[in-house]
Amino acid sequence: MDLIRLSPFDLALAAVLVVLLAGVTMWARMGVGRTLLIAAVRTVIQLLLVGLVLQTLFDHAHLGWVALMAMVMLAVAGYEVMARQQRRFAGMWGYGIGAVTMFVSSFAITVLALTTMVGPSPWWEPQYSIPLLGMLLGNTMTGIALGLDRLTQNVWRERRTIEGRLALGASWSEAVTTMRREAARSGLMPTINAMAAAGIVSLPGMMTGQILAGAPPVEAVKYQILIMFLISAGTGFGAIGAVWFASSRLFDHRQRLRLDRLKPGRHT
């Protein structure tokens, strides 16, 4: 099946729908019309730039360029995790916790998938490595951001309860065990919901893209199953690791709660 190419006019028609939606939200005074338009413009600019970069990368494939692209993606994802926190860790900890856990989980699983499951030659072939890493980073970023935000908000709200548990002799881990568990669960829920609804409620994006590009549906399904399992593992390990690491950072070596290590985020 030949790929049906989209013209600028086709994209403009789709953009009209977004503009109409923005107009409706402004008419209803929902307060998101301008934000919606800005997001749409950013989507166009960012995706066009990424498309040009990827085309250049595919034409001049080299491990060094692939590694540089991967590090840029990780750096941006780490910033987004930090920016989404209503209360985040002060200093480099606010950036480092998310970036390090994403590096450990997403990069490790991506390399494992490329070398053992997908098996392109060379294993870092940008056509496979960059999209796969991008999907893992995007979903892991969301899971970690949700988990950290839930943890810090709960700890801030329940600080008196935590201090009371510490005064009664509980360790720092015991004092926040329930909040830590809830935060990790919060980070995992979007991925669990996506897997539960896949194929029944919705057709996942990668599978839909492959089918539209002419791939056999069964092959598209196999790739989608692989991707969803990898995403769930990356998001789960990343969210759990970030929450566990962050919760330990909330206490000092004398097991005292240190809320001075948190500061309000830009959305507070």
Smallest CA-to-CA distance from 105 within 227, 206, 242 is with: 242
Smallest CA-to-CA distance from 247 within 165, 153, 146, 151 is with: 151
Per-residue model confidence as pLDDT tens digits over 11-58: 999 999 999 999 999 998 888 889 999 999 999 998 999 889 888 888
Smallest CA-to-CA distance from 132 within 112, 158, 156 is with: 112
Dihedral (Cα; 50, 52, 57, 59), 10-degree rounding? 150
Residues 33 and 147 grouped into a single domain: no
Residues 103 and 186 grouped into a single domain: yes
Residues 83 and 129 grouped into a single domain: yes
Strands 87-89 and 262-264: antiparallel
Residues 83 and 19 grouped into a single domain: no
**């999907």: which residue's tokens?**
135
- Alpha-carbon distance 228 to 109, whole Å? 12
Dihedral (Cα; 174, 175, 178, 179), 10-degree rounding? -130
The residue ranges of the chain whose pLDDT is under 70 are 1-3, 201-203, 265-268
Half-sphere exposure of 52 (CA within 13 A, CB side): 5
Residue 242: domain span:
63-264
What phi and psi, each to the nearest 5 degrees, are found at residue 193? -65, -40
Beta-carbon neighbour count of residue 265 at 10 Å? 16
- Alpha-carbon distance 125 to 113, whole Å? 12
Residues 107 and 122 grouped into a single domain: yes
- Identify the domain boundary among 41, 60, 79: 60
Residues 254 and 202 grouped into a single domain: yes
Alpha helices, DSSP H only, in 84-216? 93-102, 108-112, 126-157, 159-167, 172-175, 177-197, 205-212
Residues 29 and 112 grouped into a single domain: no
Residues 20 and 85 grouped into a single domain: no
Residues 124 and 252 grouped into a single domain: yes
Residues 79 and 196 grouped into a single domain: yes
- Identify the domain boundary among 60, 76, 106: 60
Residues 12 and 138 grouped into a single domain: no
Q: Count up the domains in the chain and report the number.
A: 2
Where does residue 53 rank: exposed (0-12), middle (13-18), buried (19+ CB within 10 A)? middle
Taking the CA atoms of 160, 163, 169 and 172 in sequence, report the sign of the dihedral they define. positive
Q: Which amino acid appears at position 31 of this protein? A: G
What is the token pair recorded at 69? 């692209």
Predicted structure pTM score: 0.81
What is the token pair recorded at 170? 């509980």
- Identify the domain boundary among 60, 78, 96: 60
Residues 111 and 177 grouped into a single domain: yes
- Alpha-carbon distance 152 to 259, whole Å? 9
Burial 100-109 (b: 16+ CB within 10 A, else e): bbbbebbbeb
- Alpha-carbon distance 134 to 127, whole Å? 12
